Amino acid sequence: MNVSTPQVKLTAKDYASDQEVRWCPGCGDYAILKAMQKTLADLQAKRENTVFVSGIGCSSRFPYYMSSYGFHTIHGRAPAIATGVKLANPELDVWIATGDGDGMSIGGNHMLHVLRRNVNVQILLFNNEIYGLTKGQYSPTSRPGTRSPSTPGGSLDSPVNPCTFALGSGGRFVARTTDKLMKHMPVIFERALAHQGASFVEILQNCIIYNDAVFENLTEKDQAPDTTIMVEHGKPLVFGSDGDKGIRIKPGTLVPEVVTVGQDGVTEADLLVHNEKDATLAHMLTTFAPPAFPLALGVLYCDPTESFEERIHGHGRVADVPDVNLADRAAIKADMDKIFLRPGTWEVK
Amino acid sequence: MTAHARAHPHPPVPITPEVDFVRIRFAGDSGDGIQLTGTRFAETSAQFGNDFATFPDYPAEIRAPAGTTYGVSAYSINIGKTEILTSGDQPDVLVALNPAALKINLPDLRRGGTVLVDSDSFTAKNLAKAGYETSPLEDDTLAQFTTIAIGISSMTKASVAHLGIGAKDALRCKNMWTLGLVLWMFGRGRQSVIKWLNAKFKDKPEIAKANIAALQAGNAFGETAEMATELRRFSIPPAPVESGVYRTATGADTLAWGLYAGSRLAGLKLVLGSYPITPASTLLHILSRMGDLGVTTFQAEDEIAAVCSAIGASYAGALGLTTSSGPGIALKTEAIGLAISAELPLVIVNVQRGGPSTGLPTKTEQADLLQAVFGRNGDAPVVVIAASSANDCFDCGIEAVRLATQFMTPVILLTDGYIANAAEPWRIPDMSEDRYAPFPVKFRTDPEGYHPFLRDPETLARSWAVPGTPGLEHRIGGLEKDYHSGNVSYDRDNHQRMTNARVGKILGIANHIPEQTVDFGEDEGPLAILGWGSTYGAIRIAVRRSITGDLPVSHVHLRHIWPLPRNLERVLSRFERIIVPELNTGQLTTLLRSQYPKIRLEPMNKVNGQPFHVSEIEAAIIKALEG
């Protein structure tokens, strides 16, 4: 992680570029941008060593608004571009800004592979369950029956759950937050950056124009306590406006259930305790959704292993070509002769 | 025009090929080990100091059903004392291990040539599979040829019987038995093959032993068999070649090495993003073994990810490289447009194969020229260069890197299946020569007055600042950029200006590449043969033979396809007629007609998956000059 204590302390503003932000007024993306700028300021991240890579879509304009390095690429391919950046320079902090269409539809394949390879990047998937930039068609995360210009009678296909997808792809860091959680987002972003390997963060983000209020039940203060659960490593799975609801495994089964502490003899000791390293629990948490269960927010899974770059560079597979004098003639000749003069040559006089 | 053409401007020309060199073709079932037999023979000939050229021709299926005509695998080798540039001509000796191999390859055999067959394989079942009603060994099918029918299968089995290996493993040695006989026919030693077998099967000594026993038996057969008098024993003296250290190399080898050398001369780390595809995978394999030299290779999840990872690597300050063939290049199209728009260096190798769609994966064709030059959305110019031979690939690899880095542009480098697979004796270049002077990239580090699309007034290349450089943080992408700031711009006049800048930058490269020369023959006259890519060898020999026969013809060969050499029109205008042989339906002709409407070009095209034969080009020359 490229964090240091520079002589001049950078503020959140210092991480904003001079470009006018062009998302629709009221878009959830503004909050995410602000949270990111705050995170990097909190960490005093080096702007020169930070790179934002994006694909196509509203969320993919993100790099233009950061004062770090940025690459706005083509639809769905940010994970592949980011992998190349890390292959060339593993020291960079690389963030991928993507959306539900960019990351789960046209770029689904690359998302799978960047996760299973465990490339050391941070993936921010802005999930607004709709195509915004192309004017409101349903997306692969839209709920069944979503009416849109391309589905006037309501969409028919089942949506993909990004966090379940990420886990199933072999992701070792899976977290979820929302654009309304201004204190939570920086915590999650910081954790994602600290994680060695691919970190996947789903951010529920409101599209005020084409899918407004689709997450209202999850984000409004009067409803959120009963429809969401904030998980924390080592703490029991407790939620509810009175803090008395919890999740336990139904005795004698592998099935989770919502219980109320103090009712039917249920005590806090019966509740599941969150363990970030437990993949089975993590899978269960990714699938929780109202009305039967609260939507799980926080770090659902974090179990680091060797990253792709560590595997490539750490096992002597790729020699470190010295940076200086890479173009030194004697060195080039010596290296080329290593190739040319392997056994099998003959001389003609 | 090419480096190695310059190296020996007037080598001797083979006028009577059956005396000067011998062309051998091995053919059999795809499971018979034909490619291996051919490769070993080529290697042995190389070590003997012969000049040679090879042409593998194998089916797309890994193991097509045995005995079928579509499962026939072949390997042609030309060996001679003069410069050998093509292997596609009529063979003098055909080794056919089954009826199907005979059926497919016999039409190519020179009249009076020698056929060596495995008579054991001429069973009723195999004859039927090959479509023979009666055995060609018994009717007059082979009347015009010298036929040597030997029970190779049974003799192979007998030769390894004492080793107690299974019947199937025993029969697998028949390629070595055959090779033993052919080595005897051409007076070659067996030591290098034996050494190779021992190394290859070092964990299976019994298999190595069996193969060696078969090899020795085949060789002994030539020495002792009753029918030995029928075998024409060829003796090929070593070719007079330029002095130096040589090794056998395919076009894939020399290209991989050239690209690596280019990255070193540019002072950049080489990062390959690739996805397996025939016939380009060999490049991925070769570069994957160069990790100890600092090469990073990445087998991506698909063709798009392959090119994107290369673009990402270039963005981060390495040299991004991607290698593929036509269908894969089609998938990379959008990403190549991004590299054009973001003005990043990138080398894209297209080892062309027969198309469209999946087409003929293992056959050679030159039909991706217009795809390379024009095949993208928007006005999206790139540099296109084409290698003409395995020898030329090394210098083309370096040239591609030079242009990509000095002009901040993608470069498409065209080769084809013929060049990639053909093995040639390759004179190892001396990297301390001036032509291999480094061209180190200078990254921008000065923040003063910087913006990402600041252009060099001479080359129009934008300045290259890489992540990690303090004070030069910037954002780029596929949206149109403002000419003066690099920021996103939808301004209409600006788009005109940026489009002009991108097009002008590429066209201006014509001032930084060598002028076109006439490869062989006079600078003016009644006829020129204009080629590009792998037709080089066939055209060169055809033109030389014609000139030796006092026919006024010249050979012009293009390396730089886009931009074209700035004097090309002038060079072409000095010839009354220009024939353009291409393994496509006329793509270079189409391109040149759009640029030089006054130049009259006569296309000469074929797309049957085979390279041009020297005789085809010769016939066209004679016809043109008689007409």
Q: What percent of chain B has pLDDT over 90?
A: 68
Which residue would you say has higher pLDDT here, B165 or A284?
A: A284
User: Which of helix, strand or coil describes residue A28?
Assistant: coil
pLDDT 10s digits, A304-322? 999 999 998 776 556 655 4
Whether the per-residue pLDDT at B222 is higher than 70: the answer is yes
CA-wise closest residue to A78 among B320, B334, B312, B336: B312
Mean pLDDT lowest among A206-215, A252-261, B12-21, B606-615: B12-21
State the pLDDT at residue B143. 78
| Torsion-angle region of B180 (φ positive above 0: left; ψ -120 to 50: alpha; else: beta) | alpha
On the question of pLDDT at B229 being above 60, the answer is no
Torsion of CA B115, B118, B124, B128, to 10 degrees: -50
Mean pLDDT of B376-392: 96
Distance from CA of B542 to the nearest CA of A (A): 27
B351 in contact with A, Cβ within 8 Å: no
Q: Are B81 and B238 in contact (CB under 8 A)?
A: yes
- Minimal Cβ distance to B477: which of A51, A68, A73: A73
Q: What residue segments make up the domains of chain A, in order of their start?
A: 12-235+274-302, 308-340
- CA-nearest of B487, B484, B481, B491 to B454 is B484
User: A348 vs B305: CB contact, 8 Å cut-off?
Assistant: no
The C-alpha of A322 sits at a distance from chain B's nearest C-alpha, in angstroms, of: 9
Per DSSP, the residues of A247-296 read EEEPTTSS-EEEEETTSTT--GGGS-B--TT-HHHHHHHHH--TTTSPEE
Name the superfamily (CATH) of residues A12-235+274-302. Answer: Thiamin diphosphate (ThDP)-binding fold, Pyr/PP domains (3.40.50.970)
In this predicted model, what pLDDT tens digit does every residue of B289-335 receive, in sequence order? 999 999 999 999 999 999 999 999 999 999 999 999 999 999 999 99
Residue B46 has pLDDT above 90, yes or no: no
Residue among B271, B438, B467 whose CB faces A69 most closely: B467
Mind listing the pLDDT tens digit for each residue in B251-281?
A: 999 999 999 999 999 999 999 999 999 999 9
Looking only at the bridges linking them, the beta strands covering B72-80 and B21-29 are antiparallel
pLDDT in tens, A257-285: 999 999 999 999 999 999 999 999 999 99
What's the mean pLDDT in B142-168? Answer: 89
On whether ipTM exceeds 0.90, the answer is: yes
Predicted pLDDT at B391: 87
Determine how many CB atoms are found less than 10 A away from the CB of residue B293.
18
Beta-bridged to residue B323, according to DSSP, are B274, B349
How many interface pairs between A and B have CB atoms less than 8 angstroms apart? Answer: 229
In which region does residue B158 sit, left (phi positive, over 0), alpha (psi from -120 to 50) or beta (all else)? alpha
Let me know: does B547 contact B553? Beta carbons within 8 Å. Answer: yes
Residues A67 and A51: their CA atoms lie apart, in Å, by 10
Residue B88 scores a pLDDT above 80: no
Distance from CA of A97 to the nearest CA of B (A): 14
User: Does B268 contact chain A (CB < 8 Å)?
Assistant: yes
pLDDT tens readout for residues A74-113:
999 999 999 999 999 999 999 999 999 999 999 999 999 9
Instruction: In whole angstroms, give the CA distance from residue B221 to residue B241.
Output: 33
| Residues of B whose CB is below 8 A from A118 | none
- Are A348 and B243 inside 8 Å of each other by CB? yes
